[in-house]
Amino acid sequence: MNTLLERFLRYVSHDTQSDPNSPAIPSTQGQLSFLQLLDKELRAMGLTATLHQQQYLCVHISDNNGKDSPAIGFLAHVDITPDVSSANICPQIIKNYDGNDIVLNTPLKIVLRTDDFPQIKQYTGQTLITTDGTTLLGADDKAGVTILMELAQHLALHPEIKHGDIRLAFTTDEEIGRGTDGFDIATFGAKYAYTIDGGAIGELEYENFNAAMATLSVKGCNMHPGEAGKTFKNALLLLEEFNRRLPAEQRPETTTGYQGFLLLSQINGSADAAKAKYLIRDHSRELFQAKKDFLHQIVFELNQQHGNNIFQLQIDDQYYNMRSKIEKHPIVVDKAIEALLKAGINPIIKPIRGGTDGARLSYMGLPCPNLFTGGHNFHSIYEYIPLQSMHKALEVVLNIVESYNE
């Protein structure tokens, strides 16, 4: 586990935050520099890596068993979320965790409290890696990258481990929805694949939200407020009127499990014009469509009330639930369950309340469920990961490799 820890700490020191406002590929130079670092390390292992269009890095590890085993792929993304600062990440290593609150930052009085995050107590006695309370940690998905690089190193050092063709891919800009843009399934060459991008130990996910982004534009009629009269229309208040029509029970903070939500994620503007963005999420394709229809209906009614097409709504689908694709290839789930049980882990099969590269890859023709890395509280200054969980994730991946060989 020492090499796993050293590699993870080294990787999170690289700032690979993605930028949704950048048209570049990848969206930030830090991601490209990190891919080039991985390329160099893989070549030092004696493996051949290919950087495709500066967008993703692929590694082909040829079979050494002489059997007709299917080619298996594993993927992780190198970028980390732009939601929280990632500048100068300073991880803290908590050895033999005592089960109590963890002071992340004494001067700023930032504490990871067990009352707020009770699941942390299950890792009493283990080694935890946390933030210093001022940035995220970046385990999403530097932990996945670390696990796959350790896999590559292990297979390179142990040719006695028999396996079929192995394909590894390190993608960019997953956090901003571009992770599989330009990804060539045929060139990758895997028949089945797994993203190593999940949370707590034991998690196996093969269904996710259907997702869309709604952009609402509101046109006001601005003038001097002292002479406004009935002609004045405040775009900000009109947008607020739209937002009041959204049911409180469909906000993220009131939903769990398979329940979808509508999230007001961004708002800006003035009395003259305003714009808002909403995330639309649901596991059910029918309820997903119903949510989109509901927003269109509100816009129709408000335009009827206020006239002149003051409200304009554009909805763009982002990705869909991969379950319908995965279920046609039950082997990918069966092999993962077998690998988990062999590692002494009870599988936790649950829906993703989000999305992964695997969702889009599954619709592109590559069945690709998601496996745990061990991390908790992603996209947060309270992010942490138990070292032992990351080590178990590596064991599960190795079990999958051996399972397909058998």
pLDDT at 175 over 70: yes
Q: How far is CA 288 from the centre of its chain?
A: 20
Query: Quick check: 375 and 139 in contact, CB under 8 A?
Result: yes
pLDDT reported for residue 289 = 97
Say yes or no: 18 and 125 in one domain.
yes
For residue 174, the model assigns a pLDDT of 93
- The pLDDT assigned to 406 comes to 75
Report the candidate in 120, 117, 101, 97 with the shortest Cα–Cα distance to residue 109. 101
Domain count, the chain: 2
Taking only the tens place, the pLDDT of each residue in 142-168 is 999 999 999 999 999 999 999 999 999
Tell which of 319, 343, 376 closes a domain. Answer: 319
Identify the weakest region by mean pLDDT among 58-67, 126-135, 391-400.
Answer: 58-67
Average pLDDT over residues 315-328: 94
Catalytically active residues are 79, 174
Last residue of one domain, picked from the residues 287, 319, 351: 319
Tell whether 284 and 345 lie within a shared domain.
no
CATH classification at residue 244 = 3.30.70.360
Tally of helices (H runs) and strands (E runs) in the chain: 10, 17
Are residues 386 and 258 both part of a single domain? no
Average pLDDT estimate for 341-366: 92
- Do 53 and 165 fall into the same domain? yes
CA dist., res. 75 & res. 270, Å (int): 43
Same domain, 52 and 62: yes
What are residue 399's phi and psi, to 5 degrees?
-65, -40
Indicate if 174 and 77 belong to the same structural domain: yes
Q: Is 302 in the same domain as 369?
A: no
Query: Residues 83-112: what's their mean pLDDT?
Result: 95
Q: What is the pLDDT of residues 237-281, one digit of tens each?
A: 999 999 999 999 999 999 998 999 999 999 999 988 999 999 999
Count Cα atoms within 13 angstroms, Cβ side, for 135: 18
Decide: helix, strand or coil at residue 371. strand
DSSP label of 134 = S
pTM summary value: 0.89
Same domain, 185 and 229: no
**Residue 285: closest CA among 362, 339, 208, 222:** 208
Residues 386 and 143 sit within 8 Å (Cβ to Cβ): no
- Do both 196 and 242 map to the same domain? no
Checking if the pLDDT of 223 tops 80, the result is no
Could you tell me the pLDDT band of residue 227, with boundaries at 50, 70 and 90?
low
Contacts of 45 (CB under 8 A, 6+ apart): 152, 153, 156
Residues 254 and 331 reside in one and the same domain: no
Domain that holds residue 325: 2-207+321-405
Alpha carbon of 235 to those of 106, 224, 246, 269, 272: distances in Å?
44, 14, 18, 8, 6
Helices (H), 158-234: 185-188
> What is the domain-level CATH number for residue 51?
3.40.630.10
Pair (70, 182) in one structural domain: yes
Picking from 271, 298, 319, the residue at the C-terminal end of a domain is 319
| Element holding 130 (H helix, E strand) | strand 128-130
CA 358 to chain centre: 10
Q: What is the pLDDT of residues 101-116, one digit of tens each?
A: 999 999 999 999 999 9
Statement to judge: residues 286 and 357 lie in one domain: no
**Mean pLDDT (whole number) for 199-223:** 90
Q: pLDDT for 41-57, tens place per residue?
A: 999 999 989 999 889 99
